[in-house]
Each structure stands twice: as C-alpha cells, then as structure tokens.
Structure 1
C-alpha cells in the first residue's frame, strides 16, 4: 500500500505529554474528568497539546484500569410527566460533566415491573440511581451485582443512601397561602397513590389543610398527566370548591385548560389552583400556576455529590433532604 494512503496513527497520551512537556501521569490527571491535583499551567498546556494533536481519551481503557465503566443506570417506572423532562435533562448534563454516561431502564408498573426486576438482564454499571418506586435496594444490587445504589424513590433502605425532597415544607406554605386568601374548602387531585412519595405528599396536604381548618372535600386519583387533569377537572364542583390542589403541575395545567372561563387573565374567579413540581412551563404566560418545588440544581447537586463518592455510595445509609418552597403565581 502507498504510504500516503495509510491512515495516520492515532495520537497517544504519551504524544500529548511530550508535546506539553510534562510526564504521562500529569497528562493523565489533567485530562481526567475527576478532580485530580495538577497545576493550572500544566493543565492548560496539556489541554492545548491534546487539542493540537486531536487526542481523545480512551474511556474504555481508562475504565479497565480503574475497574469502572463510567456508566450509570437510572431506573424509572416510565417518563411521561413534564417534570421528568426538566429533571432528567439537568441530571444527564451534570453526570456527563463528571465523565460518565447514562442508560435509562424503564421498569414499567405492576406485575410487569416485578417480573422485570426479577428476570431483567442487568448491565455492568458503576452505580444505579433508583427513581422507580417498585424497586428496592436489595433487588437493584442483585440486578447489577453492585452495591453502589442511590435511592431516589422515597425508600430508605439499609445500606443505601437516599436523596428526598422535603415536600412537607412547600405544602405547608402553599396551604397557608390559600388559608390567608379565605379558602375554606379544597379538593385534592393526586397521582398514583401506591407510590411512597405520593403517600407522604397526600399526608402532608391532609395535615396542612386540617391545621388551617380547610375542609377537604375529596381526593381524586389520576396519574400526574395533563390528560388526567383534564378528566378530573370535570368532577370539580366550582360552586362548592374554594381551591384545587394538584400533586403535579401537568395535572394543574389540564384543570386550568378545562376551566379557562373561571380564570380571566389567569386570575381565579371561582376557585384557586395550585400545582406541584414548579416545572419550567409554569414560568410562561400560558400556565402561570402557583406551585411547589425544590431547587432542581440543588437536588441534582446532592445526587452527583454522592455519585462522586463511590466508596460511600456502597456503604452508607445517609438520608439527604432537599427543601421545597411555595412559588406564588396568578392562579393562586
């Protein structure tokens, strides 16, 4: 073969180190996604050399040497709630920023979920983040043959750390806001009531409403979706209900669209409307819904902080709470 047609050899880490005038070990530290000690001057020289040579780190080789695969599994029931889009876009970005990639595993619900968790084929991953409320830490450890499990579904399993939103704080603020505006009766529209997170959320609403002397007219179960909000909206007695609390913003959006005539210029004429999750759409003119939510960046930061400490991830049972707050908007 003509030498001119032969592919140029791929630049190596040694080539980068030589061009930057540093040792191979320093070049490796400078290019690592993990925070590793190296001076700013040497890091800059290495980065410039890598760019000039077109060098890209071999993540597979790096994983073999460190016994990691730089892959994180995220277990979910499904993704259809609008709040999922806000959260997971941010979470993926932050996990990628520490040099790891993500696979989503859709568990499903009911008997299908149990069968999947029992018989599903696992991947080799560095850690598993569990949002699915059908999964417990023991089952997930067995699936992945890995003790690095972080619970994000309301379960506080022994030997597994967890991060949970302190929803009670924001709920108490929202109900207090309603009480201060003269609300004396309310309807609660909920998601899937077998979820531990939803059960705790419902209990917080009941307690807050009772504390302020607001009569709970009933609880209507949906599935967090816009469509279920539209359906349940038909059951609202607008003459008897002072406020409607929804346990997702998507459901509240469905209620608002079904009762636009009662919200001229988005202001409540017959009843006040409160959502939950504080999704990005509530910041726009079409859906200015009073809502409850945590700082998603703080929530994700806590997840990534634990993910970045693999030894602790596999050995501790720390329970981290991230506070929620009430965000008033026009519908409340």
Structure 2
C-alpha cells in the first residue's frame, strides 16, 4: 500500500522527453523561451507532455547552463508620474514576451545609490536599464557586477550605450503651433533641473521660443507631478502669458485644473496650454492637452534589441534617438 504521507517527486525534463518520445535535448529546446530549432510536431508533443505531467522548468538549473537568469533590472527614481505608468506597463509586457522578468530598483536620491554600493545588490541580472538620473553607468555596472547596462536617462559613457527621444522635432512643432496662433509670450513650467534630460529639454524650449520670437516671461519649477503643476499655477509667481509650456503632461493637468475658468468647453480663453509626454489620459475629454510624445513601441523595440542580442552592449558610446511628434488638442 502506498504511504499517503510520501512526497511525490516533481516531473523532470527526462520524464517529459520520455512521454513525448524525444531526446532530452529536443525537449529542452522545445520548452525554451528562446527561438531554438525544433520541428513543429516535436514541439507540440513536448508541450503536450509537459502540460500532462505538470512540468515546470527549473530556472536556476537553466541559468547554470545558459549563463543567463532571464532577469532584467530597471533602475528608476520613482514611479508616480502618468508617463511612467504608460511606459513601464508596455515595457514589462514586452520584456516578458521574450521570456524575461523585471525587477525594479527605486533609487529616489543620489544617497540611495551610495547605500546600494555599500551594501551590495543581491541580484544577478542579465542586464540593467537605467532610467534614474541619480545613477551613472559606471555605478550601475558596479552595483550589478555586470557590463550590460543601457542608459535611458540622457547619460552614457564609453562603455554603455544609450537610447533617448529626440525632442527637438516635437518641441519645435509645438512652439511653431503656438506662434501660428498668435502667441507672443510664454511661461515655461519645468521639472527637476538636475536631470540631464530635463536640462536638454529646457534648452530646446528656450531656443525654439527665441527662434519664433516668443518672449519667455518666467520659468517656474515643478517636479513633473500633477501636484507641482497645481502649486505653480496657484503661486504668486504666476504671470499672464499667451501660452504655458509644461515639460510633463501631469504638470499641465494640474495647471488646467487650477485655471479651468480660462478653458470654457476645454478651449483656451486667456492662454494656450501645452504638455509633454502624450499620456493616454490626454486622449480623453477631461484633459485634452496638446502634447509632445514619442513612439513608445519603437522606443521599447530598441531596448529589446539589446536584451535579445547582448553583444550590442559592447557598442560603447552608441546613441540611438527615437523621434518625437506634436499632437494638437483643444487646450491650445
């Protein structure tokens, strides 16, 4: 009689191969998340056998064979902006589609980076994607003891490539739109100026405003968030201008809510309003904000190229730029 307390052994890849009538090597290839050569008939038999046995791959054992762990680290300052949600939901989905999983490391400050270095990071990852502007490439390479680091924060060095949106095209189109509608003066509501991406963005706005002969009345500091948009729109520094350019849609939404009386039926009465990021919420009636965006799918496709082909990380200072575009909505 079988002892009911006896623990059943888990099915192995050998069990799957035997049931499917194939070799262990073919069974392993058929169950791999990577594109590996195996006939459709054999793959189908292996998958059916695995399902029948309830077989689940041993990721640790696989990592020892393939030298990968199928983990990707994503380094961020925080996740609280609407544009973060739009981007990272799609990014996670696409990374998972190639058989990898994501771990997020929230930095929050430059001091936290030092803390991570002192205490060490307990993760072995295949690559690190750096969105945080508190983290430079060399530091991240040390954190993970890994040279596969992709910079997405406007910074790069001789050993780590970078991907960034080319914001010149979109900003130029937005400012031209304002000029064509009679705008002669503008406010600029900015995010964290220590960010290299934000520094470049501000410089492009100022250059385009000057080129279009639009006077910059004031530059007001926010932090990309909705709350900071509300704050600057309610502050004593707020001055009359023909247009307000915000370097994030979330801040533009805060401005719009404070000044709803200036947008009857969502149309500008006293000033025109422009955001940045082209978040999904801007497509709806509540916040129809003219905005600058970029093709997030194309941007993520460039990221996936590096994850699929690790040798590309040896490209060093290689810089890939994804073009931006302007979307006119009723706020302008």
Q: Secondary structure at the match of 2:103?
A: strand
Match of 1:95 in 2: 95
Maintained 8 Å contact 1:189/1:245: yes
- Following the alignment from structure 2 to structure 1, what is the Cα–Cα distance between the partners of residues 96 and 153? 22
Match of 1:132 in 2: 132
Match of 1:228 in 2: 228
How many angstroms does 1:275 deviate by?
A: 0.6
Range moving further from structure 2, 148-157 or 302-311: 302-311
RMSD in angstroms over aligned alpha carbons?
1.9
How many angstroms does 1:156 deviate by?
A: 2.2
How many angstroms does 1:238 deviate by?
A: 8.2
How many angstroms does 1:45 deviate by?
A: 2.5
TM (normalized to structure 2)?
Answer: 0.94
1:64-85, Cα deviation, whole Å (9 max, x unpaired): 1122222211111122111111
1:169-201, Cα deviation, whole Å (9 max, x unpaired): 111111111111111111100000010000000
Maintained 8 Å contact 2:117/2:142: no
- Following the alignment from structure 2 to structure 1, what is the Cα–Cα distance between the partners of residues 242 and 304? 41
Match of 1:116 in 2: 115
- Following the alignment from structure 2 to structure 1, what is the Cα–Cα distance between the partners of residues 48 and 207? 59
Q: Secondary structure at the match of 1:276?
A: coil
TM (normalized to structure 1)?
Answer: 0.94
- Following the alignment from structure 2 to structure 1, what is the Cα–Cα distance between the partners of residues 240 and 21? 77
How many angstroms does 1:289 deviate by?
A: 0.8
- Following the alignment from structure 2 to structure 1, what is the Cα–Cα distance between the partners of residues 188 and 289? 15
- Following the alignment from structure 1 to structure 2, what is the Cα–Cα distance between the partners of residues 238 and 102? 42
1:107-164, Cα deviation, whole Å (9 max, x unpaired): 1224x24533542421222111111112111111111111111111101211111111
Q: Secondary structure at the match of 1:233?
A: helix
- Following the alignment from structure 1 to structure 2, what is the Cα–Cα distance between the partners of residues 325 and 304? 22
- Following the alignment from structure 1 to structure 2, what is the Cα–Cα distance between the partners of residues 82 and 46? 43
2:157 matches 1:157: yes
How many angstroms does 1:106 deviate by?
A: 1.4
- Following the alignment from structure 1 to structure 2, what is the Cα–Cα distance between the partners of residues 47 and 327? 46
- Following the alignment from structure 1 to structure 2, what is the Cα–Cα distance between the partners of residues 253 and 56? 47
Maintained 8 Å contact 2:217/2:239: no
Match of 2:184 in 1: 184
Query: What residue ranges of structure 1 are gaps of 5+ in the alignment?
Result: none
- Following the alignment from structure 2 to structure 1, what is the Cα–Cα distance between the partners of residues 113 and 54? 47
How many angstroms does 1:248 deviate by?
A: 0.5
How many angstroms does 1:239 deviate by?
A: 7.7
Match of 1:319 in 2: 319
Maintained 8 Å contact 1:239/1:270: no
Query: What residue ranges of structure 2 are gaps of 5+ in the alignment?
Result: none
- Following the alignment from structure 1 to structure 2, what is the Cα–Cα distance between the partners of residues 263 and 237? 21
